[in-house]
């Protein structure tokens, strides 16, 4: 009988830090099994039976973090499964490919990374679903699937059990490490990540929003409360040095936080450490209020500091990059099972 290979991080993994079953499937394994993305998720629902969030990932494509950093992997479909099924209308979503164009690069300056960085040039781009792929959902901001107890939100990066109100965040660098069998940092997201999630960039069919807000603005618009929005949730993140490496790629081609890139605490802290330009005057007052609530003030950013090299920033990333409380590194092989589902 044919099978579909997948990776499972079970609820309770990582010393009880992971509250929800998380399933990751490589696009290549879906193709090898002769399935569509939806069929692959239906196979998982019938085989797994338990509530789980499912992400199908293309390791040869690129995506974009909420603060505008390009990463060389992409979620191409995601789903929620429960009771052996997928909700017919709302349980599954495909992620739409965004075609390359000079117009897109002009409208979205952070996407200059696509053409300027060798590792990304020529790759397919997937961020979020377009209006056709979202139907029958109304065009609000939630790119979310839901079946039974499980919601898989913000294009497969925020998974929830809507009955017991547990949730886990899986930022891009965490999912990337899961697929690479690397190491993940798992802990409580903390106030800095909570604030950072709202510091988005202007994008067409982004992972979270469609052509809303922009660099220097806050999508949360919650004042000092922004630091509480996602602060208590566990997060499966990559190493901070991995986040720093990808952020430095963007900064080193001349992209400016607050103008081209989102003004998240992580991006601003790395820019300060490396002496990179920051568009202070383009960061709106409401964003400054949220940043100040986690200690990122204009005065702190402008205070003199030793300018560190690329390699020095990577070596000191754990000190430089804020976020993750009570974090612990885990080898993916220690918390993740490689399984096969019968087709």
What secondary structure does DSSP assign to 75-130, as a single string? EEEEEEEBTTB--TTTSEEEPPEE---HHHHHH-GGGHHHHHSTTTTT--EE-S--
CA distances for 166 relative to 163, 235, 260, 278, 343, angstroms: 8, 12, 34, 37, 30
Q: Which residues of 259-285 are buried (b: 16+ CB within 10 A; e: fewer)?
A: bbbbbbbbbbbbbbbbebebeeebbbe
Q: Work out whether the CA dihedral 270, 272, 278, 281 comes out positive or negative.
A: positive
- pLDDT at residue 96 is higher than 90: yes
Share of the chain above pLDDT 90, in %: 91
The pLDDT score that the predictor gives to residue 133 is 85
Span 279-309, pLDDT tens digits: 999 999 999 999 999 999 999 999 999 999 9
The pLDDT score that the predictor gives to residue 102 is 93
Average pLDDT, the chain: 95
Task: Please list the residues that pair with 121 across neighbouring strands.
Answer: none
Q: Which helix (H) or strand (E) holds 241?
A: helix 240-251
* Residue 141: pLDDT band with limits 50, 70, 90: low
Span 24-73, pLDDT tens digits: 999 999 999 999 999 999 999 999 999 999 999 999 999 999 999 999 99
The pLDDT score that the predictor gives to residue 140 is 58
The pLDDT score that the predictor gives to residue 131 is 84
- pLDDT at residue 1 is higher than 80: no
Which pair of structure tokens corresponds to residue 255?
């992209």
Q: Position of tokens 């950093």?
A: 69
- pLDDT at residue 263 is higher than 80: yes
| Cα dihedral: 17, 21, 27, 29 (round 10) | 110
The stretch 11-33 carries a mean pLDDT of: 98
Q: How many CB atoms lie within 10 A of CB 34?
A: 11
The pLDDT score that the predictor gives to residue 249 is 98
Q: How many CB atoms lie within 10 A of CB 306?
A: 7
* Residue 250: pLDDT band with limits 50, 70, 90: very high
- pLDDT at residue 272 is higher than 70: yes
Span 305-330, pLDDT tens digits: 999 999 999 999 999 999 999 999 99
- Give the distance from CA 286 to its chain's centroid: 23
Q: Name the percent of the chain in helix, strand, coil, to the closest 5.
A: 35, 25, 45
* Residue 138: pLDDT band with limits 50, 70, 90: low
């Amino acid at each position: 009988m044919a099978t579909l290979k997948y990776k499972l991080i079970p609820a309770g993994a990582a010393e009880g830090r992971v509250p929800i079953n998380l399933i990751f499937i490589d696009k290549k394994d879906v193709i090898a099994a002769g399935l569509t993305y939806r069929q692959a998720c239906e196979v998982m629902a019938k085989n797994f039976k338990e509530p789980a969030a499912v992400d199908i990932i293309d390791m040869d494509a690129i995506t974009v973090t909420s603060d505008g950093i390009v990463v060389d992997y992409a979620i191409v479909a995601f789903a929620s499964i429960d009771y052996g099924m997928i909700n017919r209308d709302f349980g599954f979503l495909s992620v739409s490919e965004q075609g390359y164009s000079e117009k897109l690069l002009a409208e979205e300056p952070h996407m200059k990374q696509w053409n300027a960085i060798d590792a990304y040039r020529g790759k397919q781009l997937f961020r979020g679903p377009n209006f056709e792929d979202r139907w029958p959902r109304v065009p609000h901001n939630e790119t979310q699937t839901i079946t039974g107890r499980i919601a898989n939100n913000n294009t497969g990066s925020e998974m929830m059990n809507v009955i017991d109100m547990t949730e886990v965040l899986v930022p891009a660098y965490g999912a990337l490490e899961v697929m690479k069998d690397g190491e993940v940092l798992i802990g409580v997201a903390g106030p800095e990540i909570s604030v950072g999630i709202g510091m988005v960039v202007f994008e067409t069919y982004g992972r979270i929003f469609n052509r809303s807000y922009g660099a220097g603005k806050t999508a949360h618009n919650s004042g000092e409360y922004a630091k509480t929005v996602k602060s208590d949730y566990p997060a499966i993140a990559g190493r901070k040095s991995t986040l720093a490496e990808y952020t430095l790629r963007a900064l080193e081609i001349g992209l400016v936080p607050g103008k081209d890139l989102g003004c998240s605490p992580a991006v601003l802290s790395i820019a300060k450490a490396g002496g990179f330009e920051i568009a202070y005057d383009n960061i709106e007052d409401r964003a400054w209020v949220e940043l100040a609530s986690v200690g990122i003030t204009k005065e702190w950013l402008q205070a003199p500091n030793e300018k560190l090299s690329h390699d020095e920033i990577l070596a000191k990333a754990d000190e430089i990059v804020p976020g993750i409380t009570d974090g612990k590194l885990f080898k993916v092989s220690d918390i993740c099972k490689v399984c096969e589902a019968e087709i």
